[in-house]
Amino acid sequence: VLQQREARFRSLVQHATDMVCIVDAWGNCVYQSPSVEQQLGYTPADFIGTSALAWIHPDEQPAMQAFLTDIAAQPEAVRPYTYRCRHADGSLRWIEASFTNLLAEPAIQGIVINARDITERRRLEHEVSHQALHDALTGLPNRILMQDRIEHALLRARRDGTSVAVLFVDLDN
C-alpha cells in the first residue's frame, strides 16, 4: 500500500503542469519536476545543484535572496512570490509561485516551490489596463489617466508643501 501511494505521488508530480522545485536552506535546487521543460524550456538536470537565484532576473536577485532567507527562518510557512526569470529561448517570463518551508519535514528537507508561467496573463492585464487609460483611436492618455496623474501630483504637492498647476486646452472646433 505504501509503495502504491509513493508511485501515485511520484506520478502526480512527474505529470503536473505546474513546476515543482525543492531547494535546500541555502537556495540550491535539489529537485526539479519535468514540467520545467514545457514551462521554461530547460531540462530538470539543468537546475539540479544550481542556485535558485541563477534563474532569476538579476534585478530581482537581492529581493529573492531576502525572501528565501526569511521563509527559511519560518518553519511550515507558506508564502506567494512573483518574479521574472529567463526562458531557454532568452525571453523573460513572469512566474507566480508558492513557497512552502518543509525543511523540518524528514521526507522533504527543503523549501518546496510550486510555480507556473503567468507571462500571458500579465500581458493581457497590461493590455486591458492600457485600454482603460488610453484613447482607442489615438493611443494617447485619456481623462481617467489625466485625473489619476493630477491626484498624484496634488498628493505629492501637499506632502512636499509645493503647488501644482494644470493647464487644460480643448482642441475641438
Alpha helix stretches (DSSP H) within 89-142: 119-133
Identify the top-confidence range among 12-26, 63-77, 138-152.
Answer: 63-77
User: Could you tell me if 150 and 166 are in contact, meaning their C-beta atoms sit under 8 angstroms apart?
Assistant: yes
Confidence at 57, pLDDT banded by 50, 70, 90: very high
Task: Say what the pLDDT of residue 173 is.
Answer: 65
**DSSP letter string, 66-84:** HHHHHHHTSTT-EEEEEEE
Mean pLDDT of the chain: 90
pLDDT of residue 4: 84
Q: Give the Å distances, CA to CA, from 145 to 5, 67, 125, 132.
A: 55, 34, 16, 9
pLDDT single digits (tens) 68-127: 999 999 999 999 999 999 999 999 999 999 999 999 999 899 999 999 999 999 888 888
pLDDT band at 22 (very low <50, low <70, confident <90, very high): very high
pLDDT at 10: 79
Tens digits of per-residue pLDDT, 146-169? 888 889 999 999 999 999 988 877
